[in-house]
Amino acid sequence: AQSVTQLGSHVSVSEGALVLLRCNYSSSVPPYLFWYVQYPNQGLQLLLKYTTGATLVKGINGFEAEFKKSETSFHLTKPSAHMSDAAEYFCAVSESGGANSKLTFGKGITLSVRP
């Protein structure tokens, strides 16, 4: 069984500051990992994904994440926060090579950006 842990429910940063959103996973098989963003009253938008290969993954809007197998982590970062980054962020895992790619999500983290 897979699981995702996102510690804390809310992170607040100043505009221009570093954004760090933490994600730890548990999986019995090599995982595929995803970060999604959700703006109010909208669906989920894919930020980035890790499947195989390079462990540092770059996504849209200046976000990146690093897969660390030894730490079972996939933390999301952005060097400089922008007001438009305020949203809810979800980390998710699916089974690699599985016939069913259903996603298991973390609880989500709300990011606030202060002017």
Smaller CB distance to another protein: residue 28 or 115?
A: 28
d(CA 41, CA 55): 32
What is the CB neighbour count within 10 angstroms for residue 94?
A: 20
Site for another protein in 6-35 (CB under 8 A): 32, 34
Q: Provide the mask over 43-72, with x wherever binding to another protein is found by CB under 8 A and - wherever it is not.
A: xxxx--x-xx--------------------
As a three-state string, the secondary structure of the chain is: CCEEECCCCEEEEECCCCEEECCEEECCCCEEEEEEEECCCCCEEEEEEECCCCCEEECHHHCEEEEEHHHCEEEEEECCCCHHHCEEEEEEEEECCCCCCCCEECCCEEEEEEC
The piece of 14-22, 60-68, 69-77, 105-113 that touches another protein (CB under 8 A) is 105-113
Taking the complex as a whole, the smallest distance from the CB of residue 12 to another protein amounts, in Å, to: 20
Q: Residue 14 or residue 45: which is nearer to another protein going by CB?
A: 45
Which of the stretches 12-20, 36-44, 66-74, 79-87 binds another protein when contact is defined by CB under 8 A? 36-44
Give the residues lining the site for another protein (CB under 8 A). 32, 34, 36, 41-46, 49, 51-52, 90, 92, 94-108
